[in-house]
Amino acid sequence: MGQEAKQPEATQILAKFAAALTYDDLPARAREHTKNLLLDALACAIAGNQGEETGQVSAFAHALAQGTESSVIGGGHTSLAGATLLNAYLVTATTMCDVHRATMTHITPEIVPPALMIAERDGLSGRDLLVAIAAGAEVTTRIGIGLDYPVFRARGWHGPGIIGPFGAAAAVGSLLRFEAGTMARAFGLAGSQAAGTYAAWGTPTVKFHQCRGALSGLMAALLAQQNFVATREFLTAKDGGLYNAYVGGGLPDVATAELGTRYELEQIALRLWPSATVIQGLATAIFDLVEKLKIDPARVRRVRIGVSQTAFDLHGGFSTYKAKFEALLSAHYTAAVILHDRALTLAQFEPNRYDDPTLRAFAAQKVEVYPDPAVKGSGAKVDIEMEDGTAHSARCEHPLGSFENPLSRAQIEQKFRTYATGILPDTAADAVVKAVDRLEDFGSVGKLMALLKSGRPRASSRAIAAAE
Q: In this predicted model, what pLDDT tens digit does every residue of 320-367 receive, in sequence order?
A: 999 988 999 999 999 999 999 999 999 999 999 999 999 999 999 999
- pLDDT number for residue 416: 97
In whole angstroms, give the CA distance from residue 113 to residue 90. 10
The distance of Cα 185 from the centroid of its chain, to the nearest Å, equals: 25
- pLDDT number for residue 455: 42
> Pick from 164, 169, 167: which is nearest to 104 by CA?
164
C-alpha to C-alpha distances, 241 to 160, 173, 248, 352, nearest whole angstrom: 18, 21, 10, 49
**What average pLDDT score do residues 399-417 get?**
96
- pLDDT number for residue 276: 87
- pLDDT number for residue 261: 97
- pLDDT number for residue 6: 64
What's the pLDDT band for 21 if we cut at 50, 70, 90? very high
What's the pLDDT band for 467 if we cut at 50, 70, 90? very low
What's the pLDDT band for 275 if we cut at 50, 70, 90? confident
Q: What is the pLDDT of the chain when averaged over all its residues?
A: 94
The distance of Cα 377 from the centroid of its chain, to the nearest Å, equals: 17
- pLDDT number for residue 284: 97
Q: At what angle do helices 80-92 and 54-64 cross, to 10 degrees?
A: 160
Residues with Cβ within 8 Å of 217's Cβ and at least 6 positions away in sequence, in order, are 110, 114, 136, 164, 165, 166, 167, 168, 169, 170, 171, 172, 190
What is the reported pTM? 0.91
Answer yes or no: is pLDDT of 70 > 90.
yes
In whole angstroms, give the CA distance from residue 204 to residue 380. 26
- pLDDT number for residue 7: 72
**What average pLDDT score do residues 127-131 get?**
98
**What average pLDDT score do residues 377-391 get?**
96
What's the pLDDT band for 202 if we cut at 50, 70, 90? confident
What amino acid occupies position 138? E
Q: Which helix (H) or strand (E) holds 282?
A: helix 280-292
Q: Which helix (H) or strand (E) holds 370?
A: strand 367-371
Answer yes or no: is pLDDT of 156 > 60.
yes
3-state secondary structure of 74: coil
Residue 128, Ramachandran bin (φ over 0: left; ψ between -120 and 50: alpha; else beta): alpha
